[in-house]
Amino acid sequence: MKGTIALVTGAAGGIGEAVVRLLAGRGVLVAAVDLDADRLTGLVGKLAADGLPVRAFPADVTSSREVETLVDTVERELGPLDHLVNAAGVLRLAEARDLSDQDWSATFAVNTDGAFFVSRAVVNRMVPRGRGAVVTVASNAAGTARAEMAAYAASKAATAAFTKCLGLEVARHNIRCNVVAPGSTDTPMLHGMHADHGAVAASVSGNPGAYRVGIPLGKVARPEDVARAVAFLLSDEAGHITMHSLTVDGGATLGV
């Protein structure tokens, strides 16, 4: 992968940050994208100080116009994109019947619309070049019902389906589109689900009352675990894999 160029959304924290670090460490020039400009700039400054090839591009992925400008700028300043990682995501917790209009709309705006806008902008530029790889970070909740996660699960299911349909349509252009579906991962999003700071223990042990099994491997994922799966699907080692969903959840969905 050394010498290639990647765009990663949701880059300022969690899984997105881990993907940026891993790719840059392998010699990929990374365009790191996030709405939080201050946090993104701080992260990229630290990585650049370590000699890693990363550039900050603050942007709002929920704006189609802003995304088109973003991708134009990245390709003009860095060069043609070889890889795209859709890692931007938000979580709004509530039972389905209690979700507000704003909760629903905001979740889909980032998780689904954002992945659509960025994928469309990047892949439209990949097609004439006849090469490229896209990985969308979805969730194991996209295929398994979770209490109080209806908006998140629905948005991730839609995004996973979109990514696979896109992969079907652009396969003839030598562009691969795959999905990574993490389970509980040690990120701020996970810890925000538990006010008592017991997120890791609760995830590992499960919650029978919410029809949620624990994690057979006895641990939550680290962001790096998910990043390695993303990097594999971007790499030539996965050169004959497309429209695939790779679950990284320690067995939490029992292989289903």
User: Among all residues, which ones are annotated catalytic?
Assistant: 152
> Quick one: which H or E segment has residue 180?
strand 175-182
Within 13 Å, how many C-alpha atoms sit on residue 232's CB side?
14
Q: DSSP string of 188-223? A: HHHHTT-TTS-HHHHHHH-BGGGTB---TTSSPBPH
First and final CA of the chain: distance in angstroms? 31
Separation CA 209–CA 200 (nearest Å): 17
Separation CA 87–CA 136 (nearest Å): 6
Q: How many CB atoms lie within 10 A of CB 133?
A: 27
Separation CA 159–CA 138 (nearest Å): 7
Q: At which residue do the structure tokens 């997105």 appear?
A: 16
> Quick one: which H or E segment has residue 176?
strand 175-182
Beta bridge partners of residue 137, listed in sequence order: 180
Cα angle 169, 165, 221 (rounded to 5 degrees) comes to 130
Separation CA 70–CA 40 (nearest Å): 15
